Amino acid sequence: MIDFDYTLTTVVLGGALVGLLSGVFGVYALLRKQSLLGDTISHAALPGIALVFLLLRVKHPLALTLGAMAAGWLGTMIMPAVVNRSRIKLDTIIAVVLAVFFGFGLALLSVIQKLPTANQAGLTKFLYGNASTMLRQDVHVMAAFTLISVCAVLLFWKEFKIATFDADYARSLGLPVRWLDMLLFSLIVVAITVGLQTVGVVLMSAMLVAPAAAARQWTNRMEIMALLSALFGMGASISGALLSSSITHLPTGPATVCIITLFFLISILFAPNRGLLWRWIRRRSHHGEITQARLLEELYWLEQNHEPGSHYHEIRSLQAVNRERIDRYLDTLTQQGWTERSGAGGIRLTSAGLKQVKTAHAEMEGKERL
């Protein structure tokens, strides 16, 4: 029973830290349109982990994380260097670095697996993540990195924000944008390598993209977005970790990714204002308003071009709306007192309706003058 509690708290703590970090730093990756960077960094980290183990024969999480960080950082730095100095485009070098580093990592892992003395069992968990093998020691290392990264973000919040949204403005203020970018990327590398243990190399990129993309739908303020993203990340990675340690043969990474993708789907569907449902409702109501305005306009035109007075126009002759739906719109207009109907399929503007059309015209003219 004690053992179970130990595992449980370790898993929950670890998951929370991973979710927090990837949530916060995913916001920057998303806003800079560099979401796929996470994919490269996490794949590139694998040879770092393998090399540290192969050379030093240690499995201490701090050493492995540092190895992963070094390799991930190297992979990140290769990309701009190649893009700036050759005809190779960014997407190509991302794919090449990702696949080649990862291939190297797999080759190294295959060497490690053949070592006679190695207790290599722990290393393959970096592929898909395995929360249930996490130790307190791992959590301590993760906590230390989280603390440092979060402090750095809080300290440079304003600077990172300006450099992300308007690098030219930041430069004109005299901020060292190059250094800020470098620091931010290093922090993203840290966030990714911390997450490798629970989510794994293959799927870590989703942990960077999905919470931030979900959070983006709920708000336009970066502070709230980062907070929400961290919450989503924590929620997904804690529940993913819990699920996978209670169900056998369920790798943590894929479980977490499925949950966070669900969060994202809910967000793009139901988030107020930006969400698809809201957009659909708004579009419908706009459509109704526009159709009503067009009907009034048509009636006004008929009024102008025929003899004035108590003349009813035939509903059948109206062209603004197709015939099946016209009754609904005319009912609304009549309810509002802008039109009145005769019994025999006729309709005309009331004086209130006339006033409504003229107000609309005046508004249009005012806008045109602007």
Partner 1 sequence: MIFDIILIACIVAAACSMPGVFLVLRRLSLQSDAISHSVLFGIVISFFLVKNFHSPLLMIGAAATGVLTVMLSELLLKTKLVKEDASIGLVFPALFSIGVILISKYAGDIHLDVDAVLTGEIALAPFDRFVVGGVDLGPRSAWSMGLIALINLLLLLGFFKELKLSTFDAGLAASLGFRPHLLHYGLMIMVSITAVGAFDSVGSILVVALMIAPAATAYLLTDSLALMILLSMGIGITSAAVGVLLAFSLDTSISGTMAVVCGMFFAIALFFSPRYGMISKWLIARDRKWIFACYTLCVHLLHHEGTPEEEEESHVRHLQDDLKWEPKYAQKVVASGIRNGLLLKTGNHLHLTPLGKETVRSLMNRG
Interface residues toward partner 1, by CB under 8 A: 30, 33-36, 38-39, 43, 82, 85-89, 91-96, 98-111, 114, 124, 127-128, 202-203, 205-206, 208-210, 213, 216-217, 249-251, 253-255, 257-258, 261, 264, 268, 274, 276
Q: How far is the CB of 101 from partner 1 (least distance, A)?
A: 8
Q: How far is the CB of 96 from partner 1 (least distance, A)?
A: 5
β-partners of residue 348 are: 340
Question: Would you say 115 or 173 has its CB closer to partner 1?
Answer: 115
DSSP, res 202:
T
Rounded distance, CA 199 to CA 214, Å?
18
Q: How far is the CB of 304 from partner 1 (least distance, A)?
A: 41
* 3-class DSSP state of 33: coil
Question: Would you say 219 or 292 has its CB closer to partner 1?
Answer: 219
Q: How far is the CB of 109 from partner 1 (least distance, A)?
A: 7
Rounded distance, CA 196 to CA 192, Å?
6
Question: Would you say 111 or 173 has its CB closer to partner 1?
Answer: 111
Question: Would you say 23 or 253 has its CB closer to partner 1?
Answer: 253
245 with 23: CB under 8 angstroms? no
Q: Is 293 exposed, middle or buried (0-12, 13-18, 19+ CB in 10 A)?
A: middle
Residue 155: how many other CB atoms lie within 10 Å: 10
Question: Would you say 159 or 181 has its CB closer to partner 1?
Answer: 181
Q: How far is the CB of 85 from partner 1 (least distance, A)?
A: 5
Q: Which two tokens stand for residue 231?
A: 């919450």
Rounded distance, CA 175 to CA 157, Å?
13
Q: How far is the CB of 196 from partner 1 (least distance, A)?
A: 14
Q: How far is the CB of 102 from partner 1 (least distance, A)?
A: 5
Question: Would you say 85 or 369 has its CB closer to partner 1?
Answer: 85
Which residues touch 233 (CB under 8 Å, ≥6 apart)? Answer: 18, 19, 20, 21, 22, 23, 24, 26, 207, 211, 260
Question: Would you say 215 or 296 has its CB closer to partner 1?
Answer: 215
Angle, CA of 217, 220 and 225, to the nearest 5°: 70
